Structure 1
């Protein structure tokens, strides 16, 4: 989960069976340390501080145990196990922020969710769109010229609109407290037959719009469902286990900043139950909109988030290689193990199941408030 030499200052959450609720933890000398306190009973409270890193660095706490050992525990209520590192923050996501993945969204739309049609459409329009958009700045005059040219070619799409137009796509990815963490099962809606992982950087943002740290995320993508209609986005994105975040939020300090996020290199490994292996990557330096711009388009005078938010930044990764049937590209199989890693962040690892087979989401904000009150933390 964490390389021994990772360093950095981390904050996250662990389920503690002793209190039947979450505790706020940091990582010290390879161990999880519970720093839950009345001054900061949630990760949200820490992110709202003037200097979250200083607080976490000096907060007293109790050692829960070896981090790698706890990370391997089953995600049931009788054992210590990792949770998503966010709690009361809204979970938002940006889509179509990379030119290459934007091409795949267009192909999904043109194919109406049919993977068998994707290869032919990719051959027809991939070169035109990919080559002409690679170095386009979203919202620029040059982007407007490209838009006009694509309309002439009959290739304009709603995905290209948010990919190179002035307004980013920002959507609600998951409900508060519904995201899963390291080691949990991630869910595919059973109506989907064409889907893939989406390795992304996820920003932790305070209610004032200040970016205080970052972590990794898997914005599970149901390509056929969303490809049939953009109006099915919520059905495609928000299901049991469909949002994984972790392993922990690395807070900004003297050793880690937004510039490190801008240069992050994410690697993806999917290992299937039949021995299939897919490798992928996503380079943040290829993003078409700066992370600060994406945050400004999400939170401001037009929209407030009193408890802050976590924001998925989108992905460069869009798998096209065939897994089984020639011409139908990649899709998940149940039992796939998905690992997303980046230097300085650690690794987020999850196993693919159907959303109907994943543990039900039963611990919401009201349950958290009652739990904290019962522990005299409110």
Structure 2
């Protein structure tokens, strides 16, 4: 098992693995199919590398030692601290997310809000609201004068929504997705809060951003979402988004260099596949070409003089994907079942794979910032 194609091996990759020998995480890159430990006293954290003027050059030239082959470590059981396995590629960065950044998903958000978490009601109103809004928002620039005219028209028709406000209004939706160090990585279980009966994966590009606002690189993410919880009230967004193991990021950060830049992110095509134990399979797609706000604009709205992140941040950019494909009951769309295998891939960024479980049965998050600092100190890395 691996998460990169042969062509992707040539990229500049930055990630983290669990090291049984160290009793904690190591910073790694990939060279000739080998996972190379580049942890050092000067750069014990991914955060430290992201703060450099030229992160790519450092990752490419840093001294290190092999921890094993990519194929071997990618196949290791996640959570087994007796074996080297991949972790989420971020450490002290805040984990933030942008919502309603694609016109195509805005319609679903409006339906979700009007349905108050009821999937059957959602199907009943999907045609009515979808017909009224349709693709008319697809090419509108958020915050523009044209967007303001559309907003006025929708208000007059009684179709205005808080989701449309952040979708085409001047201010983007940016929320806290997960706590520092709580994100899970490639191969880990992702968690659903047990109160939810209507939920879905959200395949997204995730940017790695320094404290100064420099976009250092990109990776993939699954912004696991509880549609029924968020649909009942926007004030439940935190409960719908931030639960044990509900943020997956990985497999590794592709650091920007001459072979991969922000323009490649702007052109990224994400594919989602959900394979289920009952034989059901769902596929989906999200094209970054259709995002309503440029990634640089989303970064500027998140970080600046108005809000600082001294350890940088990871920023989910949102998704075009909206799961309307029926799974069990006609008209009720898709919802997860335990054991679902979720695969998110994009050329140049690799593949992120996770299995769906309840947040209450996923491994508890027990290795926080205090544990990391003590571990690094014991290893003489601070």
> Per the alignment, in what secondary structure is the counterpart of residue 133 of structure 1?
coil
Match of 2:46 among 43, 47, 57: 43
Tell me the residue number matched to 2:242: 238
> Per the alignment, in what secondary structure is the counterpart of residue 131 of structure 1?
coil
The 8 Å contact of residues 189 and 355 in structure 1, kept in 2 or not, is answered as yes
Residue 72 of structure 2 corresponds to residue 91 of structure 1: no
Deviation at residue 52 of structure 1 after TM alignment? 0.2
Match of 2:64 among 56, 61, 66: 61
The 8 Å contact of residues 269 and 279 in structure 1, kept in 2 or not, is answered as yes
Match of 1:266 among 267, 270, 284: 270
Identify unmatched segments of 5+ residues in structure 1: none
Tell me the residue number matched to 2:287: 283
> Per the alignment, in what secondary structure is the counterpart of residue 135 of structure 2?
helix
Residue 260 of structure 2 corresponds to residue 256 of structure 1: yes
Tell me the residue number matched to 1:314: 318
Tell me the residue number matched to 1:21: 24
The 8 Å contact of residues 4 and 30 in structure 1, kept in 2 or not, is answered as no
Deviations 1:295-352 (A, max 9, x none): 0000000000000000000000001010001110000010000000000000000000
C-alpha separation in 2, matches of 1:84 and 1:196: 20
C-alpha separation in 2, matches of 1:226 and 1:124: 21
Stretches of 4+ aligned residues off by more than 4 angstroms: none
C-alpha separation in 2, matches of 1:244 and 1:80: 19
Match of 1:8 among 3, 11, 26: 11
Deviation at residue 130 of structure 1 after TM alignment? 2.4
Normalising to structure 2: TM-score of the pair?
Answer: 0.98
Match of 1:72 among 51, 72, 75: 75
Deviations 1:122-142 (A, max 9, x none): 110112222221111100001
The 8 Å contact of residues 99 and 130 in structure 1, kept in 2 or not, is answered as no
- Count matched residues: 378
The 8 Å contact of residues 107 and 134 in structure 2, kept in 1 or not, is answered as yes
Bigger CA drift: 130-139 or 210-219?
A: 130-139
C-alpha separation in 1, matches of 2:30 and 2:131: 46
C-alpha separation in 2, matches of 1:130 and 1:47: 41
Normalising to structure 1: TM-score of the pair?
Answer: 0.99
C-alpha separation in 2, matches of 1:280 and 1:334: 19
What are the equivalent positions in structure 2 for 1:163-174 lying under 5 Å apart?
A: 163-174=167-178
Deviation at residue 275 of structure 1 after TM alignment? 1.1
C-alpha separation in 2, matches of 1:130 and 1:252: 36
Match of 1:374 among 355, 366, 378: 378
